[in-house]
Amino acid sequence: MSVFLVLLSWTSQALTFLLFLLLIAFLSYCVYVQHCHMKYDHIPGPPRDNFFLGHSPTLLRIMKNDGVVHDTFLEWAERYGSVYRLNILHYVTMVVSSPEATKEVMMSPKYPKDKFVYKKLFSLFGQRFFGNGLVTAQDHEQWYKQRRIMDPAFSSTYLRGLMGTFNERAEKLMNKIGDIADRNAEAKMLSLFNSVTLDVIAKVAFGVDLDLENKSSPFPKAIEICMKGLTVYVRDVLFAWKPSNRQYINEVKKAGQLLRSTGAQWINDRKAALRNGEDVPKDILTHIIKSADKEEVMTEEDEQLMLDNFVTFFIAGQETTANQLAFCVMELARHPEILEKVKKEVDDVIGVKQEISSDNLGELIYLSQVLKETLRIYPTAPGTSRDVPVDMVIDGIHVPGGGTYVFSSYVTGRLEKFFKDPLTFDPDRFHPDAAKPYYCYYPFALGPRSCLGQNFAQMEAKVVMAKLLQRFDFTLVPGQSFDIQDTGTLRPKSGVVCSVKHRK
């Protein structure tokens, strides 16, 4: 009995000491949080929810309610100016809408991508996902090595050679839309565009014919699941700890495993073809293989890096272009006068031809303006962030170094001070003779880390839209919303459901 009492006493003392240490640690962290915040307190910003959590509760509430957090950033930018701060635990973030600061930070390689967000993109619920691929690599040398190897796959000469595939896949989509028109059925445009863009990236980047217009595939659903899962994984730090979310998390991990295992199979098939001396296309897959270290024995990290880039290009080459096309159809259907004008241009340039050439794309000037205006209001990749270790002065406000800067093209594209009547859809803003937006329009980011595939994406979008406008009239089915869904990228929440008819 006495031994038991001694043990109980020791246990009680140990627990008391542990609780004391935890209290000291918590108080120390609180002091650290306040120390982090104090040097930024002179910078304007919305009232905090509390001294410890900062603005975390507000932002989490917006995200959980499926709100577009950039709408809140826009509201605060209008109220607090071109730079304001957000306090999230011990992190301090500046939301910047100053063209000069945007130019300074984004055009320079010396400001790395935000380590908090981009480290989170490395994995998905503990399972490697984007890893150290071209979008997420933070080390400049590692990124530069990959970018240099990938550049030839996106040269203008190579892209012109893809016009045949762009035309072929877009033609299959038109046949499917034609069948929908014949049946007087409703066309879910976002879903249709997802199929064609995934078909294109699989064919031109990886040499694989998915034929999604005629065959079912698990890939579109897997990509959607991963993107939604990635959003909650990055934004809600407590999501993975809730037992009620285990089933969903397993579903997300299974979708991620499907993408990476598919990538491993396609990479191994291509490597075998290279070993056997077969002719292989100089596509993205070949360049991904070249991007690994040229050692006789490839390390596990080399293999994983190849899969990182496979997932990066497989998703990025499909998701954002499909969303842009859907938003474009939505806005054209809401603006009949613009729709008629762009149809007339397509009729004048393309006529009744089935094969659109790269020269034709250069002549579709107004269609280019329509696509650019779509990205101004609906940038499918709405922003990026950088760590800035040095002091800066932004519009007269001294900002100490050590914080993270968020640059939102969604915010700058909708600010009155940069664009007159910013919520009005007006393609003439991008007329060749109009003044160019000064570092306030960057749907593909800016500088050395700008999107490598932006020319690829816009060529593909032009071919698909030109064929759609050439062949069909479309109107929005009544009753759907024009809300935006934020799943890391922005997409139309309704899916853009249309009635389509053959043009006479």
Is residue 444 within 8 A of residue 454, CB to CB? The reply is yes
Would you call 413 helix, strand, or coil by DSSP? helix
3-state secondary structure 427-477: HHHHCCCCCCCCCCCCCCCCHHHCCCCHHHHHHHHHHHHHHHHHHEEEEEC
Distance, C-alpha 96 to centroid of its chain: 19
Determine contact, residues 414/377, Cβ cutoff 8 Å: yes
Residue 426 has pLDDT above 90, yes or no: yes
Alpha helices (runs of H) in 1-68, residue ranges in sequence order: 2-38, 56-64
CATH topology of domain 130-381+444-504: Cytochrome p450 (1.10.630)
Distance CA 413, CA 432 (A): 18
Q: Of 386, 428, 425, 424, give the one whose Cα is nearest residue 408.
A: 386
Comparing C-alpha atoms, which of 363, 358, 329, 331 is closest to residue 472? 329
At 71-113, the pLDDT tens digits run: 899 999 999 999 999 888 778 899 999 999 999 999 998 898 8
When the pLDDT of each residue in the chain is averaged and rounded to a whole number, the result is: 88
For 301-353, what is each residue's pLDDT tens digit? 878 888 898 899 888 888 889 999 999 999 999 999 999 999 999 999 999 99
Q: Is 404 helix (H, G, I), strand (E, B) or coil?
A: strand
Which H or E run contains 124? strand 123-124
Closest CA to 178 of 457, 414, 500: 500
Residue ranges of domains in the chain: 33-100+387-442, 130-381+444-504
Interstrand relation of 91-96 and 83-88 (parallel, antiparallel or unpaired): antiparallel
**Which among 316, 312, 449, 329 is positioned nearest to 381, based on CA atoms?**
316
Q: pLDDT (tens digit, 9 = 90+) per residue, 238-293?
A: 788 889 999 999 999 999 999 999 999 998 888 888 888 888 887 888 888 876 65
Q: Is the pLDDT of residue 1 over 60?
A: no
- Report pLDDT for 63: 67
Distance CA 173, CA 169 (A): 6
- The reply to whether the predicted model has a pTM over 0.95 is no
The set of long-range contacts for 344-353, using a CB threshold of 8 Å and a minimum separation of 24, is 346/466, 346/469, 346/470, 347/470, 349/466, 350/466, 350/470, 352/470
Cα radius of gyration rounded to whole Å, the chain? 25
Q: What is the pLDDT of residue 291?
A: 66
pLDDT tens digits for 174-197? 999 999 999 999 999 999 999 999
